[in-house]
């Protein structure tokens, strides 16, 4: 027969194992995208946070575009973007090719790369 003390000890150990197991799990897809990213020409800095993104000019800080994003799967990101310069809306699909690189293609087929800002 299991005593209350033994049951409490087991519950404590089980909780510790569950918590320690979670600490080694990979970050969620969304958290892997959050932060600042820069294009290869260094023209814009894009900030991704909580499903929202905005891009500002690296020289002036003026906002160039904004929109929303969502993960289609663990590596593919769909972005609905509004260009504040051109007053146009477009969709962009990006692949998180590494923790520090996003390879993207817009609806018109133009490709570009974003790198995580250090």
Whether residue 22 lies inside any domain: the answer is no
Q: By residue range, what is the domain housing residue 92?
A: 28-116
Tell me the pLDDT tens digit for each residue of 26-60. 345 567 899 999 999 999 999 999 999 999 999 99
- What's the pLDDT band for 12 if we cut at 50, 70, 90? very low
**Bigger pLDDT: 20 vs 72:** 72
Whether residue 93 lies inside any domain: the answer is yes
Distance CA 42, CA 35 (A): 16
- In the chain, what is the straight-line distance between the N-terminal and C-terminal CA atoms, in Å? 58
Q: What is the pLDDT of residue 29?
A: 56
Whether residue 61 lies inside any domain: the answer is yes
The DSSP element (H or E) to which 61 belongs, if any, is none
Distance CA 80, CA 53 (A): 9
Whether residue 89 lies inside any domain: the answer is yes
Whether residue 16 lies inside any domain: the answer is no
Whether residue 71 lies inside any domain: the answer is yes
Q: What is the pLDDT of residue 89?
A: 96
Provide the domain count of the chain.
1
Tell me the pLDDT tens digit for each residue of 82-94. 999 999 999 999 9
The pTM of the full predicted model, rounded to 2 decimals, is 0.72
110 pLDDT more than 90: yes
Distance CA 108, CA 111 (A): 9
Whether residue 18 lies inside any domain: the answer is no
CATH code for the domain of 40: 2.40.128
Q: What is the pLDDT of residue 18?
A: 30
Exposed (0-12), middle (13-18) or buried (19+): which is 90, by Cβ within 10 Å? middle
- Measured CA to CA in angstroms, residue 65 lies from 14, 18, 87 at distances of 48, 42, 9
CA 25 from chain centre, in angstroms, equals 17
């Amino acid at each position: 027969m299991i005593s209350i003390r033994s049951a409490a000890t087991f519950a404590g150990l089980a909780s510790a194992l569950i918590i320690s197991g979670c600490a080694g799990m990979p970050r969620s897809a969304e958290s892997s995208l959050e932060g600042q990213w820069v294009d290869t020409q260094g023209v814009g800095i894009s900030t991704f946070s909580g499903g929202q993104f905005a891009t500002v000019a690296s020289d002036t800080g003026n906002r160039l575009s904004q929109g929303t994003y969502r993960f289609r799967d663990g590596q593919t990101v769909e972005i609905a973007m509004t260009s504040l310069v051109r007053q146009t809306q477009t969709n962009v699909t990006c692949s998180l090719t590494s923790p520090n690189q996003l390879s993207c293609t817009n609806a018109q087929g133009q490709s570009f790369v974003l790198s995580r800002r250090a």
